[in-house]
């Protein structure tokens, strides 16, 4: 893409010089001192190079999205804001009193028509919780829209316009894996609600991670100005193809600092297909690893720090059956380089299920190619989600057996095993014992806990006891507490 753009500029320059030469101009004549003569351009055609044709091609497919969300809240009495009261009771009663009131929150964003039938892709955070979605097209026509589906983990959503009676302009998908740093791009959206706006820039970086809280992060970074309201808008290349959906910016002021991020088009395509079909499932790796630092590269005798060092492989997982071993360094997936665990996870997630991924691996100094089956994370063991009741330290918790499918949904390590706390009810005994969602229950009264069924059994056996001793694993640490209820 970059080569095409450069060739267009060169071709324009050559044509311009030929025209000037034919008109008798002496732009290339050298002076006695051997330097080129300089002059002002004699016509607008000699200096004009516009992106207007590209804007006319793509802008009609970028829409403005307006949403309404009804929020119910209780009017908080000033008594509960008193520091003396809060010192003893915190916020336990602050929302329990006062008449409930409803208010309407309005927000705006952008979207991209990707099919002439009115299918639109946008960001999850643009339509999250919306009770009403209104879409305004480039030509000011307005449509109500239905939410087809939304995926918080990639911050993507799909809408479908109602009452479309003729084909709408759409932007075709490009191949985001072919994008290179330095490629020219346009960002199109509705910043601050001022109306459709087009900005230009280049691709500043690829595979950016750690930008947002989403699970799958491998953003395209651009310096094209992106502001609030641009979310869900289009990032298009010089060929007029959609290479990303604008999603986030890095800012301290609330405005553009020239650091914007877009979800790559190849991820958008996978998520869109899954949301439309109602079956959004992703392949899983079944292995855990870390990025290769300079020290690790030296110890592994690598020529430079790159790839993902595999620390653990789950038995029976796709990685295991594909031959991946602890100590291997994965450097590419289907020929595309990976340099950190987020990028490896992203590359696997954009591939089609029931096919095969080719992993390029460095093993003891030699490069090995492995073929790994692409499968959905299994529901083994069964989750057995349960709400714990009774007079015990876990009363008010929702627990489950951790398995790869659940871990994938939660965006946590898919190698985790045991009984995990999914939620803790407010004002419950579990809240008083300071249990948190994400805790793994290790022991209760000296009894090891390896399943929800075992937890229930131990709790029933101790239901007449007032004294409890429990151990949980939190962030890799074992925490033990004794309670009298």
**Catalytic residue list:** 125, 155, 231
- Closest by alpha carbon to 396, among 417, 421, 419? 421
Strand stretches in 238-384, DSSP E: 242-249, 260-264, 287-291, 308-313, 329-333, 336-337, 356-363, 366-373
- Closest by alpha carbon to 244, among 232, 257, 255? 232
Answer whether 265's CB lies under 8 Å from 175's CB.
Answer: yes
**C-alpha distances in Å from residue 364, one per residue of 323, 338, 361:** 15, 19, 10
Pull the structure tokens for residue 255: 């405005």
What angle (nearest 5°) sits at the alpha carbon of residue 275, between those of residues 321 and 58?
115
Q: What is the end-to-end Cα distance of the chain in Å, rounded? A: 68
**What's the 3-state SS for 334-368?**
CCEECCCHHHHHHHHHCCCCCCEEEEEEEECCEEE
- Cα–Cα distance measured from residue 258 to residue 236, given in angstroms and rounded to the nearest whole number: 17
- Closest by alpha carbon to 137, among 155, 159, 152, 156? 159
Pull the structure tokens for residue 47: 């200096």
């Amino acid at each position: 893409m970059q080569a095409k753009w450069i060739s267009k500029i060169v071709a324009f320059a050559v044509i311009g010089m030929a025209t000037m030469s034919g008109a008798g101009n002496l732009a290339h004549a050298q002076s006695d001192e051997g330097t080129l003569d300089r002059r002002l351009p004699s016509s607008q055609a000699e200096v004009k190079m516009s992106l207007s044709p590209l804007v006319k091609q793509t802008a009609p497919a970028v829409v403005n999205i307006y949403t309404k969300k009804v929020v119910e809240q209780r009017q908080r009495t000033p008594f509960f804001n008193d520091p003396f009261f809060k010192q003893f009771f915190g916020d336990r009663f602050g929302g329990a009193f006062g008449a409930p009131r409803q208010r309407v929150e309005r927000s705006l964003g952008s979207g991209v028509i990707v099919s002439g039938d009115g299918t639109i892709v946008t960001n999850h955070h643009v339509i999250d919780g919306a009770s009403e979605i209104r879409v305004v097209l480039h030509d000011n026509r307005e449509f109500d829209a239905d939410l087809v589906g939304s995926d918080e983990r990639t911050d993507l959503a799909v809408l479908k316009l109602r009452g479309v009676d003729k084909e709408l302009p759409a932007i075709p998908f490009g191949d985001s894996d072919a994008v290179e740093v330095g490629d020219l791009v346009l960002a199109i959206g509705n910043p601050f609600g001022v109306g459709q706006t087009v900005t230009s820039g280049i691709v500043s970086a690829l595979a950016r991670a750690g930008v947002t809280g989403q699970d799958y992060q491998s953003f395209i970074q651009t310096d094209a100005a992106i502001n609030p309201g641009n979310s869900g808008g289009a990032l298009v290349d010089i060929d007029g193809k959609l290479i990303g959906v604008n999603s986030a910016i890095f800012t301290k002021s609330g405005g553009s600092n020239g650091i914007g991020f877009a979800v790559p088009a190849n991820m958008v395509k996978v998520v869109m297909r899954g949301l439309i079909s109602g079956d959004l499932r992703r392949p899983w790796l079944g292995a855990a690893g870390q990025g290769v630092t300079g020290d690790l590269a030296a110890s592994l005798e690598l020529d430079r720090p790159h790839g993902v060092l595999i620390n653990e492989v789950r038995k029976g997982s796709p990685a295991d059956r594909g031959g991946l071993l602890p100590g291997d360094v994965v450097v590419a997936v289907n020929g595309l380089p990976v340099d950190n665990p987020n990028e490896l996870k992203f590359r696997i997630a954009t591939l089609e299920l029931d096919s095969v991924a080719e992993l390029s691996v460095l093993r003891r100094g030699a490069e090995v190619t492995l073929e790994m089956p692409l499968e959905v994370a299994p529901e083994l063991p069964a989750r057995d989600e349960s709400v714990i009741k009774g007079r015990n330290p876990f009363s008010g918790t929702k627990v489950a057996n951790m398995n790869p499918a659940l871990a994938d949904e939660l965006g946590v390590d898919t190698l985790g095993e045991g009984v995990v706390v999914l939620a803790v009810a407010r004002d419950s005994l579990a809240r008083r014992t300071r249990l948190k969602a994400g805790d793994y229950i290790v022991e209760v009264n000296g009894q090891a806990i390896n399943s929800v069924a075992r937890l229930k059994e131990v709790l029933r056996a101790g239901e007449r006891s007032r004294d409890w001793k429990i151990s949980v694993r939190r962030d890799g640490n074992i925490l033990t507490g004794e309670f009298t209820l």
